[in-house]
Chain A
Amino acid sequence: MKRIATFIIVVLVAAGIMAWSTPGLLNGVRLGLDLKGGFEILYEASPLEAGQKITKQSLTRTAESLEKRANALGTSEPEVTTEGTNRIRLKIAGVTNEAEVRKKMKEPASLTFRSAEGCKAPAENAQPKDIYCKVELVGSDFVENGASVGYDQLNQPVIDIKVKDKKKFADVTKRLIGKNLAIFLDDNMLSDPTVRQELTDGKAQISGSYSIEEAKQIRDTINLGALPLKLTEKYSQSVGATLGKQSLQKTIEAGIIGSIVILLFMIAMYRLPGIIASFGLIVHTWLLILVFVWADFTLTLPGVAAFILGIGMAVDANIITNERIREEIRNGRSITSAVKAGNKSSFRTILDSNITTIIVGAVMFAFGTGAVKGFALVLIVEIVLSILTNVYLTHFLLSLLVKGELLKKPKQFGVKESEINAL
């Protein structure tokens, strides 16, 4: 009786915890953009100047800068990740003014000081960017958030900027005395004053006939963070919130229908052990959601697909165990020893087959990007959880029932007396 009591307590407590926590957990799952709407852009970074190299540091700084911009625009939880050596993936959810955000993100807002040193003689009506081909100072040479609006002697608004390395600026200006030093914001020339003297205080001024509003705007653009690298959109996806919700809903519906059919099949096939297997599968699903919430994984559509298919694969562990037990019974073993032997030998089978699948999953995770990575992650987590629930938990519950003598007839395992071979 003690065993039956343990069994009932384990099942009731587990069921209670699951019933109590599931609604909260479901709300806590972080959904991917394809399920809740939003947009995703994959940028490819290239150096501002030809011949320069992209370093890990510059890529990370660009990503940080993008995140700052996204935050400044008031989007919720922007996700910026670097990929490989020259890519940045940006995900922003629930944006209403998508076009504006996108434009702001893409605006490289890179402030550069350029000179015409060593450039080809400008052709007639050449663009300023062709005239000033040599970049002397780039965005990262200026003090972050260092731009401010000031006034010149004529009370015209100007933008003051500060250079980080005074010596470098002094060297540049010394070299260019009498020549022009053009100030560019991206490819637009703001001004090209002539250098009169060596500037040693690290301060520069952008003047033009700006109104105060224009000056403030330029200041903000500069302060938003100059990107150390130039970005081009390689791939973009934007999902409307309704469409995302519909996909999620449909997929979950399909999953629930499929799961119910599978559970009914297990119970019809294996009777009481089938019910235990079904219980194991439900715990398995609950744990998977739990891991998602705790580890703060993002659930995407391929993830949902892996999730539902994984349930089908987790069933395999139960089928292997139960078929093995049946086999042992047919070979004339007693129920107790059949369950013991069945649990033991099926464990090795399940472990070997699951480890090979984990190897595949791990390789996918290491080499995949985006959708493939998300899918592989769910697959790996699911297999590990499946070993916990559909092997350890169900084996434990099953042996409790056998020891408690609730399961003692071959019929309860779906084996007919006539099939049993005498030892």
Chain B
Amino acid sequence: MHFKREFDFVKLSKPAFIFSIVLTIAGIIALSAFGLNYGVDFRAGSNVDVKLSKNVTAEEIQPVLSAIGVAKEDAHITPGDQRVNIRFTKVLQEDQDEKLKAEIQKLDKSASFEINTVDPEMAKELGRNAIYAVLISCIGIIIYVSIRFEWRFALAAIVALLHDAFMVVAIFSIFRLEVSLTFIVAVLTIIGYSINDTIVIFDRIRENLRFGKQKTREDLAKLLNHSVNQMLMRSLYTAFTVFIAAFFLFLFGGESIKMFSLAMVIGLIFGAYSSIFIASPLWLLFKYKQKPNRKAVKPSKA
């Protein structure tokens, strides 16, 4: 596939900016209004996943819980296909989880368990570490890209990267999707992918900048459009293949990485989108600022 005509991405970037800003505001509202739907990892208590050889109903499980001395309101049962999830709001004591296992094994001999006991402090700490990791990564990226390219590329790439990460968080908040520890891993991966995707396009802009002198704004806009168009098929193909990988993980992967894959799928779409519609036009905006007054703006380590 090869497009004969070139798309005007500079023009298209306006609605894209509006779209992203609207979504960002919606995300901020959603986040401040109802926050995130934290999964087990962020709430104290115990989480029990049981794999069974048959389907059970919540009614069948309830007596088991009474037998181990857990009040009805302290446990939440979610039956699934040949599996059941029980979420306890209090941490199960050692003898309790043994009893629970024994009781459920009475219902089904081949039951297999996954029991997690969580101290929410740990998950929060991991989340905090992840935020630090992102910020420190940003500094690393700024330094590297400023050396290899220039600071305008670095800044534009960082904005796009934070945009992608925030979009995933926002969508998870708006649609009340469950946030677990793997979600943090997913957001970090998206950041890795997003920067990778953006740099490839920037590389082409850098290359095209070498040929010929761009004097006016029109020249720059034309150069940008040309560069993005040159990389368009690559961007689409790559986004498609990575999307395929994440999508199949979401569709067929194990229960524990479903939400991870979903976050990846959403993030990948935004990552491909932001490279073209956010990062590149932003670079152009920064570059415009430089042109009229001859004095170059000092690089800032934002």
Contacts and interface: CB of A to CB of B under 8 A. Distances in A.
User: Do A and B originate from a single complex?
Assistant: yes
Interface of A: 34, 37, 42, 99, 102-103, 233-244, 246-248, 250-251, 253-255, 257-259, 261-262, 265-266, 269, 301-302, 304-306, 308-309, 311-313, 315-316, 319-320, 323, 326-327, 330, 345, 348-349, 352-357, 359-364, 366-372, 375-376, 379, 415-416, 419
Given A250-B252, A258-B249, A375 B185 contact: yes
A371 B237 CA distance: 30
Interface string B25-63: 000000000000000000000000101000000000000
A253 B95 CA distance: 37
A265 B234 contact: no
Interface in B237-281: 237-238, 240-249, 251-257, 260-261, 264
B203 to A, nearest CB: 4
A357 B256 contact: no
A240 B113 contact: yes
A309 B245 contact: yes
Nearest to A363: B137
Contacts, number: 229
A103 B94 contact: yes
A319 B234 contact: yes
Contacts of A367: 129-130, 132-133, 136
21 contacts: A235-B122, A236-B116, A242-B110, A266-B241, A302-B185, A305-B182, A309-B189, A311-B245, A315-B242, A316-B238, A319-B241, A349-B199, A353-B200, A364-B133, A367-B133, A367-B136, A368-B133, A369-B129, A370-B181, A372-B129, A372-B188
B219 interface: no
Contact of B233 (A243, A323, A375): A323
B246 A360 contact: no
Interface of B: 2, 49, 51, 94-95, 97-98, 110-119, 121-122, 126, 129-130, 132-133, 136-137, 140-141, 144-145, 148, 181-182, 184-185, 188-189, 191-193, 195-197, 199-200, 203-204, 207, 230-231, 233-234, 237-238, 240-249, 251-257, 260-261, 264
Contacts of A316: 196, 200, 234, 238, 241-242
Closest 6 pairs (CB-CB, A-B): A240-B112, A242-B112, A312-B245, A247-B254, A258-B248, A312-B242
Contacts of A379: 189, 192
Nearest to A259: B245
Contacts of A415: 2
Contacts of B133: 363-364, 366-368, 372
Contacts of A368: 126, 129-130, 133, 188
Contacts of B240: 265
A360 B137 contact: yes
